Amino acid sequence: MLDIRSLTKIFATQPQKAALNGLNLQVQKGEFVTVLGSNGAGKSTLFHAIAGEFFPDEGQILLEGKNITFQAAHQRSRFIGRVMQDPMKGTVPAMTVAENLALAEHKGIKGKKLFSSITKSQKEQFQEKLALLGLGMEDKLEQPVGLLSGGQRQALTLLMATFQQPKLLLLDEHTAALDPATAEKVMQLTQAVIEQHNITTLMITHNLAHSLAFGNRTILMDKGKIVMDVQGDQRKAYTPQLLMEQFHQLAGEETTTSQQSFALL
């Protein structure tokens, strides 16, 4: 359903180095792919290109057979959901929880009056969804999002990103800024929401154990390319230790510094 062909992006500030270097990736509908790679490997750049934040220098991005390579980002946001590392992004802090959810619900619908039109039944629906998160947010509908904790905001962003059941969900280290217990909770929520709606997902993580525990396929990026792709029975035999060894083999000497940034557990 996602077909990326020979994708290349060279930033003007680093003309000698391609952030994406002829990258190819095919993802089937319903696949949940975890994405590994050392700092600067090009993971976020790949997500930005898929979301349309910039256009690539070469190559194509097809989603369900449609060429979206040069489609505007706001148009893609109707069917591509995203959650980034920073809990401060993804929601509007000055708006209430209910208003943020209404915004997500109306994404892509033009001319709709947003805030005067949040009905009682809508609020009940929001409350129901928030209760499922198990973070006590169902009582905070009228609170500005800026007052929520980082974990609550990430859970809300996840809810908003999947409100309209996107064709593709992009998660860029979305639990990295959270404390371990909240990160685990948001990961469980992530898995539940993906499974419930069978959402095709790409998730960047630096956690080797997470990269195997979640999803059904793991890829490793290095220097703007995919250098390892593990799925099926082959993946079941993998351990975080084996992944670490392969990481060093495939991603070369530059990975020594990233060793510390990888959590084995």
Ligand X SMILES: Nc1ncnc2c1ncn2[C@@H]1O[C@H](COP(=O)(O)OP(=O)(O)OP(=O)(O)O)[C@@H](O)[C@H]1O
E strands, the chain, in order: 2-10, 18-27, 32-37, 58-63, 66-67, 80-83, 168-172, 200-204, 217-222, 225-231
Tell me the chain's radius of gyration from C-alpha atoms.
19
d(C-alpha 180, C-alpha 174), whole Å: 13
Q: Nearest approach, Cβ of 140 to Mg ion (angstroms)?
A: 30
Is residue 61 helix, strand or coil?
strand
Q: Does 205 bind Mg ion (CB under 5 A)?
A: no
CB of 161 within 8 A of CB of 169? yes
CB of 195 within 8 A of CB of 202? no
Q: Does 259 bind ligand X (CB under 6 A)?
A: no
Residue number of the CB atom closest to Mg ion = 44
Q: Which stretch binds ligand X (CB under 6 A): 33-41, 89-97, 147-155, 161-169?
A: 33-41
Q: Please, which residue, 96 or 205, has the CB nearer to ligand X?
A: 205
13 binds, among Mg ion, ligand X, none (CB under 5 to 8 A by kind): ligand X
Among the listed residues 127, 154, 155, the one whose alpha carbon sits nearest the alpha carbon of residue 140: 127
40 binds, among Mg ion, ligand X, none (CB under 5 to 8 A by kind): ligand X
Residue from the set 34, 45, 152, 205 that interacts with ligand X by CB under 6 A: 45
Residue from the set 8, 10, 40, 167 that interacts with ligand X by CB under 6 A: 40
Q: Please, which residue, 42 or 166, has the CB nearer to ligand X?
A: 42
Residues 6+ apart with CB under 8 A from 139: none
Q: Does 223 bind ligand X (CB under 6 A)?
A: no
d(C-alpha 176, C-alpha 55), whole Å: 27
Q: Does 39 bind ligand X (CB under 6 A)?
A: yes
Residue from the set 21, 34, 38, 44 that interacts with Mg ion by CB under 5 A: 44
| Both structure tokens of 15 | 């003309």
Q: Which stretch binds Mg ion (CB under 5 A): 19-27, 38-46, 133-141, 188-196?
A: 38-46
Q: Does 215 bind ligand X (CB under 6 A)?
A: no
| Both structure tokens of 43 | 């993971």
| Binding residues for Mg ion (CB under 5 A) | 44
| Binding residues for ligand X (CB under 6 A) | 11, 13-14, 19, 37, 39-45
